[in-house]
Amino acid sequence: MKKRRGYIVAGNWKMNKTAAEAVELARGVVREWGNAAGVEVVLCPPFTALEAVARILKDSPVLLGAQNMHPAGSGAYTGEVSAQMLRSFQVSHVILGHSERREYFAESDAFINEKVLTALGNGLKPILCVGETLPQRDQGDTLGVVDAQVRGGLKQVTGEEAENLVIAYEPIWAIGTGKTATPRMAQEVHASIRGILVDLFGSALADKIRIQYGGSMKPGNAAELLLQPDIDGGLIGGASLEVESFTGIIEAAKAR
Ligand code: PEP
């Protein structure tokens, strides 16, 4: 049965691909996936390739995302990029609070919350990433950690804005490791995130917000994850760097 929400599959290219390589990859995705019927597809190249990839995606249904953004409108923030700068390249989505930013750049829930509010206020759709470490899972803290990250990241978000949110549940121990959460483990956390969204925005809105799974998703394991009632797509790292593996995941979403 198709989900009412529709799937969203996004590729997080991280710090990979020169502009020329990014163009080649984007061309391949558009060629293999010119018809995105039923699945929303978003490519998130590095900042340096946004303009070049925007030109490739212009006449296709594939959307453009960024991997990060600063909450301020402009100013003395060397090395940072604002929401309006992203908007000027037709960026529609922005990944916020990825675990790599939380870990290597010490991003807090409060700072991520500022970014979420700025993104929404500037017409960008945040993909808010949350997820637990392995020690946190082993100690039985997964749901508590995720609860704090979701509530912390979404403070002051209004019901009107909430429809534009995407949440990505990414267990940190599954990112880039080849270890995937079992469909049951992932569904348990996704259902609990859905419950938090109901609490924050009411059930009608919560039912519309897509919750992606991320963490070593591949064509071979995507179908069973996507079959889960609260898994509405994928945030894909490694497997998004090759046309075949990325489009294989999109195909799995299309077939659901
Ligand atoms: C990610 O970093 O968002 C991710 C899901 O990576 P991977 O697919 O490589 O585990």
Give all strands (DSSP E) within the chain, no chain letters. 7-12, 39-44, 63-66, 93-96, 125-130, 166-169, 210-213, 233-236
Residues 190-234: pLDDT tens digits?
999 999 999 999 999 999 999 999 999 999 999 999 999 999 999
Estimate the crossing angle of helix 219-226 against helix 183-201, to 10 degrees: 50
Question: What residue owns the CA closest to ligand 1's atom 8?
Answer: 237
3-state secondary structure of 130: strand
Question: What is the 76 CA–ligand 1 centroid distance (Å)?
Answer: 31
**Entry pTM:** 0.97
In Å, what is the CA distance from 205 to each residue of 9, 31, 186, 234, 250? 20, 34, 21, 20, 25
Pocket of ligand 1 (CB under 6 A): 12, 170, 175-176, 214-217, 235-239
Active site residue 80: no
Nearest-angstrom CA–CA distance, 203 and 182: 26
Choice between 32 and 83, residue whose per-residue pLDDT is larger: 83
Res 194: pLDDT: 98
Res 58: pLDDT: 94
Check pLDDT > 90 for residue 40: yes
Nearest-angstrom CA–CA distance, 142 and 134: 9
- Mean pLDDT rounded to a whole number for the chain: 95
Of 70, 93, 98, 190, the catalytic one is 98
Res 1: pLDDT: 45
Res 207: pLDDT: 95
What is the share, in percent, of the chain residues with pLDDT greater than 70? 97
Res 33: pLDDT: 79
Domains defined for the chain, CATH in brackets: 2-255 (3.20.20.70)
Q: DSSP string of 23-37? A: HHHHHHHHHHTS--T
**Which residue out of 101, 128, 225, 236 has the highest number of ligand 1 atoms within 8 Å of its CB and is therefore the one to mutate?**
236
Q: Which of 54, 138, 121, 115 has its CA nearest to residue 90?
A: 54
Check pLDDT > 50 for residue 240: yes
Active site residue 251: no
Residues 61-118: pLDDT tens digits?
999 999 999 999 999 999 999 999 999 999 999 999 999 999 999 999 999 999 999 9
